[in-house]
Chains A and B, each alone.
Chain A
Amino acid sequence: MDIKINKDATDLLSMVSSIAGEEPELLNARENEIYLKVSETGFKDISPSLAERKFSLIGLFCAEDFEKKEGFTLFYVFKQAGRAPALVLVREAVRGKKVTSVAEIFPSASWFEREVRDGFGLDFTGAFDTRRLFLHECYPEGFHPLQKAFKNGPIRPTETSGREYKFRQVKGEGVYQIPVGPVHAGIIEPGHFRFSVIGEPIFSLEIRLFYKHRGIEKLVEGKKPSECVALAEAVSGDESMANATGFCMAVEQVCGINIPERAERLRAIMLELERTYSLLGDLAGMAVDVGFALVASPFFMLREEVLRQNEKLTGSRFLRGMTIPGGLKKDVPDSLLKDLPAFLEKFSRAFESAYDRAISSSSLIDRFATTGIIKKELVSPLNLTGPLARASGYPADTRLDRPYGAYRDFAPEPSVRKRGDVLSRFEVKADEIRASAGLILRLAENFQQGPVFAESAEYDGYAGQSSGEISGSGATGYSLALVEAPRGQNLHWIYLKNGLVDRYKIRTASFCNWQAIEHAVIGNIVPDFPLINKSLNLSYAGTDL
């Protein structure tokens, strides 16, 4: 196989061969992604060395009957912060046999492994936590929906008595447990939080999510890529555009489609609009959670302005239904794009005055500063990404590290804070809103007319139709796409078999970032929990596919 790889990737390859002590089999490679097949012993040698070299395990997923192989294939995606290439170690697992866990080396693997176990019934030995993850106890024993043998359909919940989920027990004089949720006093998504407190200070927190599993990964199986965009958009409401883009990028890489420049630029504009409205909601929410409605309301109003702008540009407040593998479903008229600079100028002025009002209030600063600190040391082991990592002094941003689409030419202004508290996250998010506005302004300049959907000639044999449909008969392959959603890095991996989706794995930033909250709250008091939670703004839906 003739595989073209760039220099970074070549370096990575030689590094892996030197630590493995064997020549791993190169399965596939693309710009910035390398798939290496490793033996069991090779894997055992490589993984600790990768941890030493500050690689994060950014994804771990499984596929069944991958490339005509019987049984399960595990994909471990590693990435070094600041470097573009993703290293995917491919490991085979025989049905019914256990594989060794890497959770002791890469703590982020714990949830990944539990997810694989629930979905595929593959057990990991040596894991420190083997409880169920997304399939709660009400699902029958031996039910593993992502196995190909399972045909999607309703199932009957089973009795859970005697098999209840075991929470960590914290015992001692004066230690109390506070169970919160999954049903809350407000209209929010379900999540269970088990606090162990001594008076008001929090001693330990354990979270349990996955109360509304939708089976998205099963739903996409056997569908045409163009039919799956809506499902990708439904993963998490205010990351619709990011997830649609991630999905489409992965499909485009598999099919070798290069999308036109105009489509790339428009996608980037929409991604930044999404980031803007999403982060504005965060800033407002943080003010609401300290009861400061006067500070929150201007941010809410600005968010609404951006949503209306979205509707004007695309017909959808949440930018849905625009993206499709191959480009965009429809163009945005130049007349509307010309209005963007004026809108952004007005927006920026209003934003600065709202931000000044917030940051000049001592009562607000008093609540934000030193609350909910996330230490920098946690970022890489737990694979934390997005504003929360950048607020803890970790300057990783997929748009800069591994630029995609229009970000190759238009880099956002990075923003980093060191303290890792709620105030830092507030400041980083505000900076990112400013950076997004600046980026949209630059993207909207000198716009060239042109198609927004890839011509069929560019399709490497797959016929594109102007209706926005890739009717590829027989595209087979797999690819990984990383996008920077408002909450952090989202991972999309797709395996197409004969033009149909055989396996689609989405790992949103929230999936990993949720685990940070258990660390962030320790030593804080119970009434500060909602504020810490809001400052992280994690998606329940994005975690529970």
Chain B
Amino acid sequence: MNISFLLFALLNPLFALLAAPLYMALIRKVKAYAQGRRGPKLFQVYYDLRKLMQKEAVYSPTSSWIMRFTPYLNLSTLLVCSLFVPLVFVPEPAGGLGNIIVFLYLLALERFFTALGGLDAGSAFGGMGSSRSMSLAAVIEPTMVISFAALAFVLKSLNLHQMFALTAGTVLPISPTLVLVSISLFIILIVETGRLPVDNPATHLELTMINEAMILEQTGKNLALLELAHALKQFLLMGILINTILPVGLSTEIDAGKIAVSALLFLLKAGLLAIIIGLFESALAKMRLFRLPAFYVMAFFFSALTILIEVFA
């Protein structure tokens, strides 16, 4: 434990928590513009969270402690995750923090409890969403492992902090293979956050839902926590992608000026990525459920290719 780490542990999660919902809103805004609408204003997402926080939670009579526990667990898991992805500056390595295997397991924990929460309310849709989410997870999880393995191969570390300490300060990616890994990471970002063409976050059609179906029965404060956790997850995955492909400006020193520039630049880069995601979502129809593995295989392919190149080149 040192000052650098304490400061990081304070700043990084706070920054992520505050900024994350903004990018949910930004993607929505981009999609609205693509459709010729104006869309709700950017800060509406914060007002909605505040509104939900003030509402009471309603529980189905069949639900157990899982439904009450899941929102808190998810948000705390994601807050721990936010210690793994340096956004404002890269701290000196401390303990197991930053380890990608732990990071993947934390995400798995969150997914597991979301699925349990979906089953817990006893509604048909929660169960359906959970079953779909779990079957798709069986395909996407190995893909994620391979993708992060590829990242580890290229950046010669299992620790995200060390990886990004390596990329920080460069303008362009340090290795061309990182472009391939970034394609995989982009697909993982789309899949993990339940965006088109995998899942439609804007739909009201319960029969087509995956992510939304699992939180369909959640209300009030619990729903706000889950949405915040979801936004955080998206923000962190965006962070990994940005630090991989466009690390310019990421600070490795504790300096108020540099940290401010680093944070500001990150907001801008995330804004750019959000616009890309919004346009990507607009340009595609949702895929047929059974064709989704074909989409994941693309991520798998680029990561496997990276590993082959790194091993044999």
Q: Which residues of A contact B (CB under 8 A)?
A: 178-180, 184-188, 200, 287, 289-298, 301, 361, 363-364, 366-367, 525-530
Smallest CB separation, A362 vs chain B (Å):
9
Known: A291-B286, A294-B283. A526 touches B202 (CB 8 A): no
**Does B41 sit within 8 A of A, measured CB to CB?**
no
Q: Which residues of B contact A (CB under 8 A)?
A: 31, 34-37, 124-125, 128, 196-197, 200, 202-209, 216, 282-291
Partner of A530, one of B34, B37, B207, B285: B207
Are B286 and A290 within 8 A (Cβ)? Answer: yes
Are A291 and B207 within 8 A (Cβ)? Answer: no
Are B208 and A293 within 8 A (Cβ)? Answer: no
Smallest CB separation, B105 vs chain A (Å):
28
Known: A297-B37, A526-B128, A527-B289. A185 touches B216 (CB 8 A): yes
Known: A180-B124, A291-B200. A530 touches B286 (CB 8 A): no
Complex-state Cα separation, A526 to B197, whole angstroms: 17
List, in ascending order, chain B residues with CB within 8 A of A525's CB: 288-290
9 pairs across A/B with beta carbons < 8 Å? A184-B204, A289-B205, A292-B286, A293-B31, A293-B202, A363-B284, A525-B289, A525-B290, A527-B288
Complex-state Cα separation, A367 to B124, whole angstroms: 24
List, in ascending order, chain B residues with CB within 8 A of A526's CB: 128, 207
List, in ascending order, chain A residues with CB within 8 A of B125's CB: 185
Are A367 and B35 within 8 A (Cβ)? Answer: no
List, in ascending order, chain B residues with CB within 8 A of A290's CB: 285-286
Complex-state Cα separation, A293 to B202, whole angstroms: 10
List, in ascending order, chain A residues with CB within 8 A of B34's CB: 293-294
Smallest CB separation, B290 vs chain A (Å):
7
List, in ascending order, chain A residues with CB within 8 A of B285's CB: 287, 290-292, 295, 361, 363-364, 366-367
Partner of B205, one of A185, A298, A363: A185
Partner of B35, one of A178, A293, A364: A293
Complex-state Cα separation, A297 to B38, whole angstroms: 12
Complex-state Cα separation, A361 to B160, whole angstroms: 39
Known: A180-B124, A186-B204. A297 touches B35 (CB 8 A): yes
Complex-state Cα separation, A291 to B287, whole angstroms: 9
Residue of B nearest to A295 (CB): B285
Known: A179-B124, A180-B124, A367-B288. A294 touches B208 (CB 8 A): no
Complex-state Cα separation, A366 to B288, whole angstroms: 8
Are A291 and B288 within 8 A (Cβ)? Answer: no
Partner of B197, one of A291, A296, A297: A291
Complex-state Cα separation, A210 to B158, whole angstroms: 60
List, in ascending order, chain B residues with CB within 8 A of A188's CB: 204
Residue of B nearest to A526 (CB): B207
Complex-state Cα separation, A72 to B197, whole angstroms: 57
Are B282 and A294 within 8 A (Cβ)? Answer: yes
Smallest CB separation, B98 vs chain A (Å):
36
List, in ascending order, chain A residues with CB within 8 A of B128's CB: 178, 526
Complex-state Cα separation, A129 to B146, whole angstroms: 56
List, in ascending order, chain B residues with CB within 8 A of A297's CB: 35-37
Complex-state Cα separation, A528 to B288, whole angstroms: 8
Residue of B nearest to A524 (CB): B288
Are B206 and A180 within 8 A (Cβ)? Answer: yes
Smallest CB separation, B39 vs chain A (Å):
11
Complex-state Cα separation, A179 to B208, whole angstroms: 14
List, in ascending order, chain A residues with CB within 8 A of B202's CB: 291, 293
Are B124 and A178 within 8 A (Cβ)? Answer: yes
List, in ascending order, chain A residues with CB within 8 A of B196's CB: 291
List, in ascending order, chain A residues with CB within 8 A of B124's CB: 178-180
Complex-state Cα separation, A137 to B125, whole angstroms: 26
Are B35 and A530 within 8 A (Cβ)? Answer: no
List, in ascending order, chain A residues with CB within 8 A of B216's CB: 185
Smallest CB separation, B199 vs chain A (Å):
9
Told that A363-B285, A525-B288 touch, could you supply 4 new A-B pairs with CB distance under 8 A?
A179-B124, A184-B204, A291-B196, A291-B197
List, in ascending order, chain A residues with CB within 8 A of B209's CB: 185
**3 A-B pairs with the lowest CB-CB distances in the bound complex, closest first:** A186-B204, A297-B35, A291-B286
Partner of A367, one of B31, B207, B286: B286
Interface centre among B35, B125, B209 (most CB of A within 10 A): B35
Are B290 and A292 within 8 A (Cβ)? Answer: no
Are B289 and A363 within 8 A (Cβ)? Answer: no
Complex-state Cα separation, A180 to B288, whole angstroms: 20
Complex-state Cα separation, A186 to B36, whole angstroms: 23
Complex-state Cα separation, A291 to B208, whole angstroms: 10
List, in ascending order, chain B residues with CB within 8 A of A294's CB: 34-35, 282-283
Interface centre among A178, A187, A292, A293 (most CB of B within 10 A): A293
Residue of A nearest to B282 (CB): A294
Residue of B nearest to A528 (CB): B288
List, in ascending order, chain B residues with CB within 8 A of A298's CB: 36
Smallest CB separation, B6 vs chain A (Å):
44
List, in ascending order, chain A residues with CB within 8 A of B289's CB: 200, 525, 527
Smallest CB separation, A354 vs chain B (Å):
11
Smallest CB separation, B193 vs chain A (Å):
14
Complex-state Cα separation, A152 to B204, whole angstroms: 37
Residue of B nearest to A298 (CB): B36
List, in ascending order, chain A residues with CB within 8 A of B200's CB: 291
Residue of B nearest to A300 (CB): B35
Complex-state Cα separation, A361 to B287, whole angstroms: 12
List, in ascending order, chain B residues with CB within 8 A of A361's CB: 285
Complex-state Cα separation, A35 to B31, whole angstroms: 58
Complex-state Cα separation, A188 to B34, whole angstroms: 26
Residue of B nearest to A358 (CB): B285
Residue of A nearest to B36 (CB): A297
Complex-state Cα separation, A186 to B285, whole angstroms: 20
Known: A180-B124, A291-B197. A200 touches B205 (CB 8 A): no
List, in ascending order, chain B residues with CB within 8 A of A291's CB: 196-197, 200, 202-203, 284-286
Interface centre among B37, B125, B128, B285 (most CB of A within 10 A): B285
Smallest CB separation, B285 vs chain A (Å):
4
Complex-state Cα separation, A161 to B296, whole angstroms: 49
List, in ascending order, chain B residues with CB within 8 A of A293's CB: 31, 34-35, 202, 282
